[in-house]
Amino acid sequence: MSAIRTTIVGNIAQPIRLQKFPDGNLVVTFTVAVNDQYLDKKTGEFADRGTEFVRVQTRRRDLCLNADASLSVGDPVIVTGRLTTHSWKGPDNRDFFALLLHAEALGPSLQFGTTRYFKNNNQKPVGDDGEQLTGGEDTSAELEGRTVPDDTAEDREAPVRRDPSELVAVCVGGGEEADGAEGDKEPPF
């Protein structure tokens, strides 16, 4: 089966969850709220179609560490990866489904704000004269020696930097509004 590659733009809706496994592998999981708006031809104004919550996960070590160190609830993000559907049975034997985006790349959306990028490497910037440049701290040593908690960090709280009502509006596709029942259970991943 072919992978469905897609990009979403939205806001982080829950704290980043960083897990470390006994073999040393890492996984980061978080949820992105994607608002869907459309232009109402009758009123000439944008109307909300609803918010979709997409679970994002990555097992790429550097991406895990950088996401955990850089992102928090409310941050506007762009995520690219493979989209899959995760299904499970609830306690009452009902079927539940959730979208899961396996992130290959992610970063902040710069539509409504600015950011500063710091590369993770051991090379210090050098000017034309060969002298080491100052400014821009190298974070590679900090990330390399960083300890990752052994717990699932479910109770860890990330600082909320923005009011949730400031979620980024994103127009996605067109056509009729999707009709689907919303599950009331959190996916078990």
Tens of pLDDT, residue by residue over 48-75, are 888 999 999 999 999 999 999 999 999 9
Tens of pLDDT, residue by residue over 98-122, are 889 999 999 999 988 888 888 876 4
How far, in whole angstroms, is CA 143 from its chain's centroid?
19
pLDDT of residue 117: 82
Where is pLDDT greater, at 92 or 176?
92
DSSP state of 64: H
Are 10 and 36 in contact by the 8 Å Cβ rule? The answer is: no
Residue 132 has pLDDT above 50, yes or no: yes
Average pLDDT, the chain: 74
pLDDT of residue 81: 97
Residue 34 has pLDDT above 50, yes or no: yes
**Strand 169-170 to 76-89 pairing:** unpaired
pLDDT of residue 189: 46
Are 61 and 68 in contact by the 8 Å Cβ rule? The answer is: no
The pTM for the full model equals 0.60
Are 87 and 95 in contact by the 8 Å Cβ rule? The answer is: yes
**Maximum pairwise Cα distance, the chain:** 70
Instruction: Answer yes or no: CATH 1.10.287.10 is held by domain 4-109+150-170.
Output: no
68: left (phi over 0), alpha (psi -120 to 50) or beta: alpha
pLDDT of residue 107: 93
